[in-house]
Structure 1
């Protein structure tokens, strides 16, 4: 850890804790709503859907992301690889969540259940993920090329590495 990290090493564990607690709270709210509002969807149906989602995640999404990650090893900067992998993971999860309404045969029992154009909205969300990922890749590439203050000096240039305290 360098002295010029600006406290990022102390902030990350706190942020993870806050996000983890927020996720647990939202899971609790979801479980409570599921148990209280059992008239529209039974816990058994949700359990079957969650089990299916877990199987599809482990059998399709993870191997696909790993294969693409192996293919991305040729990218010159590790940060770029991580950003692309993250974007693929988000896109895969969004697609998996959208598949049940997209693949459901016939018309819904309740016309208000699927009132939106799900294929179009899925494409819009995936486009937004692609744009954000592309921006993050551009930033990671720029940072990896030395566009930030912490880049190392070129050997033999007489320049001290910036972002480090000499000594």
Structure 2
């Protein structure tokens, strides 16, 4: 196990160094500053907004939803949050490029709604399967 961890750590460090080398040799200084600003903004948004929101929602769910249902609801919220984080920038950038050049011509709002509905249905189905498997004739009476 120790050799496996050392090899993974070494591979990660080498890949990180390769990426840094490529950034420093192939990307202009202005683009590096934009990248640095973007990374700082991502950390601020994650640590200042997303993480406290996730903790607050988790606390609320822990105090209001039964444990058996909570894991399926939390799973849906994680998946839904990830889908939303991916879709919102695409929705905001729609119509910013000429049609001949743009790949953003889809209806991302409708697609996001459909995907969220499918994720919610899957979560409900999995929860219903779990409840059905745990229900015994004595519980039904």
Deviation at 1:45, TM superposition (A): 6.0
1:137 aligns with 2:138: no
Identify which of 147, 150, 165 aligns with 2:135: 147
Deviation at 1:120, TM superposition (A): 1.1
Q: Looking at both structures, which has the greater relative contact order when contacts are Cα pairs under 8 Å and sequence separation is at least 6?
A: 1
| Inter-partner Cα distance in structure 1 for 2:39 and 2:118 | 26
- Between Structure 1 and Structure 2, the one with more helix by share is 2
Would you say how many aligned residue pairs link Structure 1 and Structure 2?
A: 118
Query: Residue in 1 aligned with 2:88?
Result: 99
> Structure 2-normalised TM-score?
0.57
1:1-167 matches, cutoff 5 A:
52-73=41-62, 74-76=64-66, 78-104=67-93, 107-109=96-98, 111-143=101-133, 146-147=134-135
Unmatched 5+ residue regions in structure 1?
1-23, 25-30, 155-167
Q: Does structure 2 conserve the Cα–Cα contact (< 8 Å) formed by 1:53 and 1:96?
A: no
Unmatched 5+ residue regions in structure 2?
1-11, 13-18
| Inter-partner Cα distance in structure 2 for 1:49 and 1:101 | 17
* Per-residue Cα deviation, 1:114-159 (whole angstroms, up to 9, x for no partner): 121111111111111111122222234445xx338xxxx99xxxxx
Mark the CA change 1:75 to 1:105 in structure 2 (over 3 Å): closer, same or farther.
closer
